Structure 1
């Protein structure tokens, strides 16, 4: 099978992609430090040296702070109850662990577990979609920058600077989505914030990113769907100075069962004035007006001629 040659002038690295892909490609060739994350879940606790072979019910837990595994007995003994936070008991690790963060590992390889957790954290912040960009190329550039920051965290390269950039981007997103609240708070504490330096996020701007447009405010619910039910020819009053109406208001026989005299008056007036919006003469004029269609005029003439002749029409004769 013959292979097609590379086009003239194409780059020999990374299939001729642009500079950002080259940097990401070089970053992916790096290897993580040889420092072990944990004693793999092989069945031996690195703290108490208990073996899962002797205790089949032993379960191992990890803490995402350092990803060192230990048996659940050691977790309860060192961190459970009211002991609070404590230093990791694994030799060489001085990180402070919290009891609430311990959980069972999803993957057997703890490096994969750590990478999945980091990607979840990054994607929770960098959650832009293709619809947020003007072109597909701009969206692909954004994805490559996100992947570059993710690999920096995985390989422990510029970790503090990368997390700082992610937290700043998250703060800018919240500020854009809550623009009205931010302006109101700035007006209340304008003197205090005026001395500080505002983060404009110039280094966090992505090419082709659309400006955030808040969704329109939903109108109040209208059960009539915008249809106006206000009567046009009468006004319903709260009370009427009529003898029989005054007696009915005091008679309990007319008020039992939740009966409303207001509804009775509304229905009576609606039935009395219901025909005021119907004008027969306008309908007759519209009916007698000549039609704009020529076929309709021809059909009307033939129908009038047949009616004047007094003869029965032969429905079988197509002519």
Structure 2
């Protein structure tokens, strides 16, 4: 009875619910589905009903409006699996946050659990309107971060595909090099054997052992050179793979450029606004003429210095009163940053604490003995 019910259900799947055409009579029939309602119908009915524009689903009880460009071929045999895959793809296309965008691993795990709950609600048709509204609101508020993460996923997929292509080309090149080395080694071995036989034929019996040893040395030298070359090529390939992994293995982070999140997702990192670039300072904040305790003036009233300033013989030699003012004031205020009493008290305290610690260690050592 069970097998008969399964056969009837399979036969119903092969019959178009609109025109009642069967694949048994027309083996070339193609069935299409629309992700709006997932009702399966033949391609001829789709062309006949939806070619002029959007129309209601012809299946009894379904009032959803369908469009021809949304029809596609069914991928999975079970319609439930097909629908769940589409829902999961759509939700993950919107909720595409990455682990580095969260403050902790626990927050990221909570996000994954929340995403699975949303998918389960849509698959099982639980609070569909509320869930769809939350998704739409989140998509509108975080459009930029969603696009950034999609771009990162495409970049990673492209990089992975390029890396796979490079590895395949490298494997093919290694096979070709190994084949060429094998052919070259075979030709060299054959030529060496021919040379060895010709030398034995033209030589004497006393030279046979010497010729054999020489040939064996030549073979060992060639095999050693070949192994050294193989090791060098292997190390070079490993270095290239390491540099490629270092360049493309670390994923980019979008936590700093992500948009403001709604209340749907918790635990995201705060957006860090980069500080404005400061103007270039060649002295690293040092102002040559700035002092903590005084300000250098252009001139100071002094009868002696005024006479020097007016004397052309002094100025002709390159004497500058500004350097004199700067050096004199620096020497006068040089000791204001030193607090001798505090340094002396700190030094005395260190002297007192050291003998105390030494005496305590000595007493502990005596007790242990």
Compute the TM-score of the two structures, normalised by the length of structure 2. 0.39
Structure in which a larger fraction of residues adopt helix: 2
Task: Name the TM-score, length of structure 1 as normaliser.
Answer: 0.45
Q: Which has the higher contact order (CA 8 A, sep 6+)?
A: 2
* Rg larger for: 2
